[in-house]
Structure 1
Amino acid sequence: MMDPTQPDNPDSRCGFVAIVGRPNVGKSTLLNHLLGQKLSITSRKPQTTRHQVLGIQTRGDTQTVYVDTPGMHEDEPRALNRYMNRAASSALKDVDVVVFVVDQTHWNTADEQVLEKLTHVKAPVLLVINKVDRMDNPDQLLPHIEMLSKKRDFDEVIPLSALREKNMEPLETAVEKRLPQSVHLFPDDQLTDRPMRFLAAEIVREKITRQLGAELPYSVAVEIEEFREEKRTVHISALIIVERPGQKKIIIGDGGDRIRRIGEEARHDLERLLEQKVMLRLWVKVKRGWSDSDRALKSLGMHDRQG
């Protein structure tokens, strides 16, 4: 019987690549630049990514399915953090390559914990040292690589800058040559397995995170209540969920000024993504304790993805 995963073209390759690391090392920025299009949301605030996001890159005969993951961090009792840790850990199952991202010459207990999770991973592990363009003393890089190489026999060590798109080609080459022979699993023009409703919610949440920074804790979620196309315009209604009335006031701002800015920035990104005019409506609702409730997380689509 013919194996459906074996291609007629012997040069055809396809496989899954997990991007892992502690919070705020630049995993989402790396994915966006690998794809050449914004898919994962980014901000300077750690733990911005909450979900596994598949990013699909097809170049010629090779299709690489990247899995961007939430940052792995110390276990905390909140349901949201438990969900994020599960999502990050499950991404390591059955992948063909792991890209372990670290930040310059910074190494701490959180990096050590991620390394421990890779102990039993059989797939090749590529170590990416990100943000090397920000290093005050580039001479520290080689000794740092030597130190890290003693912690694990990495298949390759690649210094780069995801934000500046410097030295990205060696990473793509290193990944592609380790992918198995296979038919492509997705259409060549597909960017992600996530629906547009999900991407719309993530874009709105990114604008909130970027605007508010330290003003607001992580207790913000976005739920898309309407997503429809009418006369070449996409109409999107998004509900911003917070835990306390004070947080609602912060997001709305004086006279609604802040929520208008959030909406304008999100709409611009959505129009670029959808290549259509977008009408975006935002409002805010208080839902106490949602980030510490498994039931509330499931109602917001934050549940473990099977398969």
Structure 2
Amino acid sequence: MNPMDRASSPSQAPHRAGFACFVGRPNAGKSTLTNALVGTKVAITSNRPQTTRHTVRGIVHRPDAQLVLVDTPGLHKPRTLLGERLNDVVRTTWAEVDVIGFCLPADQKIGPGDRFIAGELAAIRKTPKVAIVTKTDLVDSRALAAQLLAVQKLGQELGIEWQEIIPVSATGGSQVSLVADLLVGLLPESPPLYPEGELTDEPEQVMVAELIREAALEGVRDELPHSIAVVVEEMLPREDRPADKPLLDIHANLYIERPSQKGIIIGPKGARLKEVGVKSRKHIEALLGTPVYLDLHVKVAKDWQRDPKQLRRLGF
């Protein structure tokens, strides 16, 4: 009996593997859901729009399936060259995945941002779509029922056929495994695409940069987030360390657009930058499983969001 016959015999369900991505306006709960499914912090979460800049894949390993989550930047009406690039990345990703999860928060009425994204989704005919109503822990059952109906109606108006509409609270853990089951059911039959034990195929340097950037965004209440880029210049094991006491030296630059923003990031007597270092180092050590020495510097890259040459240099 050849292996192909065995895989499709009724006693053993075929193994499925493929790609899914979550879409939705900024702060719709996409990254939090990714982290809940993977069980490890991979996509950065921040309550500011436009914080997920790179396609970070989280990988859910199950005996019957492998679900690879592609975390795209939020789609929005572009105001800058960076915005246009991000939107191109999003559309390309949508066309290439096996299933799309459209995240809409339960505690906010469907708005123009949701309609804009749903309209773009409607244009991508082939990819199956699941509507995921997130943050259900923030509303009562009556408000949730109304939101589920509103999502159904949105699909009807735009000609989107939702495979499922599912309520979920990623922070409360409610329905998270059900989301995984639904997404897995829409994947093609395939052997695993990644070795077991991998959580992401994003280069470590990019993930480290994301963690530093997230720490830098916390507590900054003005327009700074859009103007921070982080580049990890080098990650090198410290020489002359015994094998049982390794140390990884990480040198990273935080780029901002204007000299006036430097003081905000550094803080009085460097306190803010120090805090960014302490916070991000904890996450980086957890991610890499090794002690880290983190060396951070703040640099000005004038108007980098509008300059194609600088965008390329900063990895966009």
TM-score range normalised by the length of the shorter chain: over 0.9
Residue of structure 2 aligned with 1:25, choices 23, 28, 43:
28
Give the aligned residue type for 1:193.
D
CA deviations on 1:65-99 (whole Å, 9 max, x unpaired) are: 111111111122x1221122112221111211110
For residues 42 and 7 of structure 1, what CA distance do their matches in structure 2 show? 43
Which residue of the partner structure matches residue 256 of structure 1?
270
Tell me which residue corresponds to 2:81: 79
Show the 5 A alignment for 1:187-202. 187-202=195-210
Distance in 1 of aligned mates of 2:125 and 2:308: 29
* Aligned-partner residue type, residue 194 of structure 2: F
CA distance in 1 between counterparts of 2:225 and 2:181 reads: 39
1:217, distance to aligned residue in structure 2 (A): 4.3
Q: Using the alignment, how far apart are the partners of 1:24 and 1:224 within structure 2?
A: 26
Q: State the 1:166 CA deviation.
A: 1.3
1:217/1:191 Cα in 2 relative to 1: closer, same or farther (>3 Å)?
A: closer
Aligned pairs (5 A) from 1:62-73: 62-73=65-76
Segments of structure 2 that go 5 or more residues without pairing to the other structure are 9-13, 156-160
Number of residue pairs aligned between Structure 1 and Structure 2: 297
Are 1:130 and 2:138 matched, yes or no? no
Matched, 1:44 2:47: yes
Q: Distance in 2 between matches of 1:138 and 1:103?
A: 14
For the structure 1 residues 205 and 246, does the alpha-carbon distance in structure 2 shift closer, same or farther, using more than 3 Å as the test?
Answer: same
Would you say the 8 A contact 2:212–2:280 is kept in 1?
yes
How do 1:81-230 and structure 2 match up within 5 A? 81-104=83-106, 105-119=108-122, 120-135=124-139, 137-152=140-155, 153-214=161-222, 216-230=224-238
Mean Cα deviation higher: 255-264 or 211-220 = 211-220
Q: 1:183 to 1:217 in 2, by over 3 A?
A: closer
Bigger Rg, which one: 2
The letter of the residue matching 1:63 is Q
Alignment CA distance shift 1:7-1:37 (3 Å): farther
Percent of pairs identical after alignment? 36
Q: Counterparts of 1:159 and 1:132 in 2: how far apart (Å)?
A: 7
Write the distance in 2 (CA, Å) between the matches of 1:73 and 1:226: 33
Kept after mapping to 1: 8 A contact 2:52/2:72: yes
Structure 1 residue aligned with 2:291: 277
> Are the counterparts in 1 of residues 231 and 252 from structure 2 also a CA contact under 8 Å?
yes
Structure 2 distance, partners of 1:192, 1:273, is 11
> Which piece of structure 1 moves more, 138-147 or 125-134?
138-147
Which amino acid in the other structure matches residue 269 of structure 1?
H
Distance 1:211 1:301 in 2: 25
Q: Does 1:268 align with 2:276?
A: no
Aligned with 1:92: secondary structure?
helix
Matched residue SS, 2:199: coil
Query: What TM-score does the superposition give when structure 2 sets the normalisation length?
Result: 0.90
SS at match of 2:220: helix
Q: Which amino acid aligns with 1:267?
A: R
Counterparts of 2:154 and 2:5 in 1: how far apart (Å)?
Answer: 38
RMSD: 1.8
| Structure 1 residue 215: Cα displacement | 5.8
Q: 1:121 offset after TM fit, Å?
A: 3.0
Amino acid at match of 2:254: I
Structure 2 CA distance for partners of 1:143 and 1:181, relative to 1, 3 Å: same
Q: Secondary structure at the match of 2:100?
A: strand
Structure 1 gaps of 5+ residues are 303-307
Task: Select the structure that is richer in helix.
Answer: 2
TM superposition shift of 1:254: 0.8
CA contact 1:15–1:64 (8 Å) conserved in 2:
yes
SS at match of 2:19: strand
Kindly provide the amino acid, as one letter, of the partner of residue 179 in structure 2.
L
Change (3 A) 1:7 1:93: farther
Does the aligned pair in 2 maintain the 1:243–1:288 contact within 8 Å? yes
**What amino acid maps onto 2:310 in structure 1?**
A
AA matched with 2:51: T
Q: What residue is the counterpart of 1:305 in the other structure?
A: none
Relative to the length of structure 1, the TM-score reads: 0.92
Give secondary structure in 2 for the equivalent of 1:166. Answer: coil
SS in 1 for 2:212: helix
Given residue 134 of structure 1, which amino acid in structure 2 is its aligned partner?
A: L
